[in-house]
Amino acid sequence: MSPELTLKILFRLKVGYPLNLEHPRIYNEKLKWIKLHDRNPLMAQCCDKYAVREYVESKGCGEYLNDLLWQGFDPEEIPFDELPDQYVVKVTHGSTFNVIVNGARPVDREELVVKCRKWLKAKFLPCYGEWFYGVERPRVVVERYLEGDSGEALLDYKILCFNGEPKMVYVDTWRDGEHHINAYDTDLNLFEGVKLGYPNDEKRDVKKPEALEEMLEVAKALSQDFHHVRVDLHYTHGKILFGELTFTKGAGFGKIEPISFDEKMGDWLKLPCDEVA
């Protein structure tokens, strides 16, 4: 099957309504257009958790990078004896390929090495159309462990940028073992009733970071070369730290409710195809 037909079938099955690729209008449809037609080589560099560091540096944002403790292609070479008690091990081409070592229990080094080797071999499903993953040779990185103020859970502020402008921030939270997402405008006012694939956490009051304006400026600087990108940032102990860049949230299969908000996000994103629609 052609990539277009494959995406149309998957979209109908996962999201529940037809995918319009001829004249994409809503946000999820426009993410599909990006996967099919946008071949910006910087996307391949910036979705890799190691290669993106050079890009962040080039944009004058190197001060926001987390400390890199080690990097390499063979996890057997991780210098465990030289690492601090707390650190994070990641494989650079996946969104869930990580191990958090927080010092709570001894590290099973052999198990960690086996996991990394397995993750290094992982391939992204070509039917999803995310061609940019795995272009850079995947490697293992070890970074400094981060935690929130007073030892609380570290929040990830995911800033969605459209044509180089931050428009929306969302925050993942977990309560009673359940995943929630709260979506906000760029002043951290909650978008009431908006669901990004998960329910809102109405009991969670996500505080506005003191450095929110600076965080938005960082996101703006890192988004200028792309039609659309999600810039993930942390704010802890008075410091902004870079997380990662993501180009197609949920591979463009995330159900956004209400549909009117999916349309609103689509209006924010201007693509070349809009000019001939």
Q: Is the pLDDT at 127 greater than 80, yes or no?
A: no
- Look at residue 52 and tell me if it is in a domain: no
114 with 154, same domain: the answer is no
Residue 58 to residues 61, 219, 255, 270: CA-CA distances in angstroms?
Answer: 7, 14, 35, 25
Question: What's the mean pLDDT in 102-110?
Answer: 90
Distance from the Cα of residue 58 to its chain's centroid: 20
Choosing from 113, 146, 179, the residue where a domain stops is 146
Question: What's the mean pLDDT in 8-22?
Answer: 92
pLDDT value for 150:
75
Q: In what order do the strands lie in the sheet with 165-175?
A: 178-184, 165-175, 157-162, 228-236, 239-246
Find out whether 218 and 200 touch, Cβ atoms under 8 Å: no
Find out whether 248 and 95 touch, Cβ atoms under 8 Å: no
- In terms of DSSP H, where are the helices of the chain? 3-15, 27-37, 41-46, 52-58, 109-121, 212-223, 259-268
pLDDT value for 277:
52
Question: What's the mean pLDDT in 13-33?
Answer: 93
Question: What's the mean pLDDT in 214-242?
Answer: 97
Strands (DSSP E) contained in 40-177 are 68-72, 87-91, 98-101, 140-144, 157-162, 165-175
Question: What's the mean pLDDT in 63-86?
Answer: 97
Per cent of the chain over pLDDT 90 is 76
pLDDT value for 218:
98
Of residues 204 and 211, the one with the higher pLDDT is 211
* Nearest CA among 49, 241, 72 for reference residue 146: 241
- Look at residue 276 and tell me if it is in a domain: no
For residue 190, the 8-state DSSP code is B
127 with 211, same domain: the answer is no
The Cα 225–Cα 240 span in angstroms is 21
* Nearest CA among 41, 39, 44, 56 for reference residue 221: 56
233 with 160, same domain: the answer is yes
pLDDT value for 204:
78
Residue for token pair 């926001």? 64
* Nearest CA among 234, 213, 227, 176 for reference residue 39: 227
pLDDT value for 242:
98
Find out whether 234 and 241 touch, Cβ atoms under 8 Å: yes
Find out whether 93 and 130 touch, Cβ atoms under 8 Å: no
Please classify residue 30 by burial: count the beta carbons closer than 10 Å to its beta carbon, then call 0-12 exposed, 13-18 middle and 19+ buried: buried
* Residue pLDDT, tens place only, 155-198: 899 999 999 999 999 998 887 778 889 999 999 999 988 999 88
Question: What's the mean pLDDT in 220-237?
Answer: 97
Q: Is the pLDDT at 276 greater than 70, yes or no?
A: no
Domain that holds residue 82: 40-46+67-146
pLDDT value for 163:
98
191 with 100, same domain: the answer is no
Which range is least confidently modeled, 27-41, 131-145, 171-185? 171-185
Question: What's the mean pLDDT in 113-142?
Answer: 91
Domain count, the chain: 2
Per cent of the chain over pLDDT 70 is 99
pLDDT value for 177:
78
* Residue pLDDT, tens place only, 55-73: 999 999 999 999 999 999 9
Choosing from 83, 115, 146, the residue where a domain stops is 146
